[in-house]
A = this chain, B = another copy of it.
Amino acid sequence: MRQIEKYGIFELELENGDLTEKTVPSAFFSQGSDSVKINGFLKRKNAYAVRFMPQNEGVWKYEIEWRRKKIQGEFECTENTGKNHGTVMTDGFHFKYADGAKYIPVGTTCYAWIHQHDDLIEQTLTTLSDSPYNKIRMCIFPKSMQYNNNDPIFFPFHRKADGSWDMTSPDAEFWKRLDDYISKLADLGIEADLILFHPYDRWGFSGLPLSDCLTYLDYCINRFSSYRNVWWSLANEYDAVFSRRFEDWQEFGNKIMSCDPYRHPTSVHNIIRIFPRSVWMSHCSIQSGKTDQCSKWREEYGLPVIVDECGYEGNIQDNWGNLSAFEFLHRYWTAVVLGGYCSHGETYHRDDEVLWWAKGGKLYGESTERIRFLKDLLYGLPGHIDPKKSVLDVDPYNLPDSESIDNSSKGFVDYIRRYPVEDRNFFLSNVHVIGGNRDFTIHYLGRTCPSFYDVDMPHNGKYRIEIIDLWNMTRDVAVDSSSGTIKVRLPGREGISVLITRLSGEPL
């Protein structure tokens, strides 16, 4: 019996002898009382295919009725191995793999890497394999903007006689290659965050009629949803695709929710207005430089927050693409310590116009190694980071009664109380961000440079204090086992964090 690893792909190819017959096959896959209908897709001119990702071990049966023929069979789903942990799914404000393994999104962005020549694609994959990144944002349609002046090697569809795109006629070579790229990413443990639409276009893909969009979406879902490492991004900068109405995005999201049997992570990326919470949305995919809003967005959306674009490390003229590595990392750490996630991107000018953010190639920046350092730190922490409030982090518009608060914050609360309510936004500007859980607390001190820091720990327990330098990538134990309130010495530089870990006793 054919054997397929759990979360692998079982594919059935069906030859298309009669090209005038356009019915797309679909199949029923079942295991005991568990049964699911899976739609096929036109794989090439003379063949359809049905793909299925089994999520339970054991024998699966399938059955297809197509063109008055009945095809039946079975295969065995075996244990998942190696880097295969299944599809990523949300877990509260965080993520995990289907098999329960830890997944912390540490993504990067190469919008048009699949549209470049083979050598460059090969180089991109090599760079990715050496990188810390485990998610990549990538467009299916080609991209047209500054530094993206080359035509793609293959288009996804053939044109009709009138020059418009024929969504019923996919270019087999394009999609075969894309299959291959997604597969290779899976082998590297990298999630493919597929961007379905975007506005940077000179070929007509951003202005497709709505019915063509739905045909295309169907095709993508039927072809790619069986890849365990696929995520759906409805759009990059949905609110800059001026041909689309707001309702269209809702329709696309609902279509994915109802047609994707595996519920891959699904979101949509904005230029200005963050898309409102919608039922099909698994997480927020945000463009904003204000990563200090992550805890607010978490509260507003009740979903995991990924700031997929907080600006790029680079030196191009556009201000979204000329952050210093430090500023980029500062935004990244701010997001992460506030219980969010952040994605990388790099835009160093090159005369050959091969910039990582668009075409892939090589990485030249200083942030990638420091993101690796942070990733290792995050994977080593006991659990996820959720935002914490500091002792002094009161709501200045709704002050607690003096009687109900402890002495350490009383003085500050009474101080705020002396100011008229309309002036109290002054007290909202937090430059330190704090996150953690019961087992650890991390204070990211941002651009402030204190040479001392007061650490408050419970009295009943033992706690370790470490000083972390995001730029120099050092992690030094300041106090190995202590409790109560301690003043620790800091290097007095930007980019310092204080990590307090519980060794025993009362939770943090």
Of A61-69, A175-183, A451-459, the segment with at least 4 beta carbons within 8 Å of chain B is A451-459
In the assembled complex, A316 has its CB within 8 A of some CB on chain B: yes
In the assembled complex, A494 has its CB within 8 A of some CB on chain B: yes
A420 to B272, CA, bound (A): 10
Cβ-defined contact, B492 with A322, below 8 A: yes
- Tell me the dominant secondary structure on chain A's binding face: loop
A206 vs chain B, min Cβ distance (A): 14
Residues of B within 8 A of A494 (CB): 324, 327
A323 to B431, CA, bound (A): 11
Residues of B within 8 A of A314 (CB): 449
Cβ-defined contact, B239 with A448, below 8 A: no
Beyond A317-B453, A319-B432, A319-B450, 17 extra complex contacts between A and B, CB < 8 Å: A271-B426, A273-B423, A314-B449, A315-B451, A315-B492, A316-B451, A317-B454, A319-B448, A322-B448, A322-B451, A323-B447, A323-B448, A323-B449, A324-B447, A324-B449, A349-B452, A349-B492
Q: Which of A418, A426, A450 has the most CB of B within 10 A?
A: A450
Residues of B within 8 A of A349 (CB): 451-452, 492
A331 to B437, CA, bound (A): 35
Cβ-defined contact, A423 with B272, below 8 A: yes
A319 to B307, CA, bound (A): 26
Residues of B within 8 A of A327 (CB): 447, 494
Cβ-defined contact, A315 with B449, below 8 A: yes
In the assembled complex, A159 has its CB within 8 A of some CB on chain B: no
A493 vs chain B, min Cβ distance (A): 7
Residues of B within 8 A of A451 (CB): 315-317, 322, 349
A304 to B41, CA, bound (A): 70
Binary interface encoding of chain A residues 323-364 relative to chain B, with 1 for a CB under 8 A from any of its CBs, else 0: 110010000000000000000000001000000000000000
A272 to B425, CA, bound (A): 9
Q: What are 25 A-B pairs with beta-carbon distances under 8 A? A: A271-B426, A272-B423, A272-B426, A273-B420, A273-B423, A314-B449, A315-B449, A315-B450, A315-B492, A316-B450, A316-B451, A317-B451, A317-B452, A317-B453, A319-B431, A319-B432, A319-B448, A322-B448, A322-B450, A323-B447, A323-B449, A324-B449, A324-B494, A327-B494, A349-B452
Residues of B within 8 A of A322 (CB): 448-451, 492
A254 vs chain B, min Cβ distance (A): 23
Interface residues of A in 430-466 (CB under 8 A from B): 431-432, 447-454
A103 vs chain B, min Cβ distance (A): 32
A314 to B450, CA, bound (A): 8
> Residue A418 contacts which of B242, B316, B319, B419 (CB distance < 8 angstroms)?
B242
A417 to B108, CA, bound (A): 31
Binary interface encoding of chain A residues 465-508 relative to chain B, with 1 for a CB under 8 A from any of its CBs, else 0: 00000000000000000000000000011100000000000000
Closest 6 CB pairs of A and B: A315-B492, A315-B451, A272-B426, A322-B449, A322-B450, A322-B448
Interface residues of A in 221-245 (CB under 8 A from B): 239, 242
A340 to B317, CA, bound (A): 27
A492 to B323, CA, bound (A): 9
Closest to A321 in B: B450
Closest to A487 in B: B317
A350 vs chain B, min Cβ distance (A): 10
Residues of B within 8 A of A431 (CB): 319
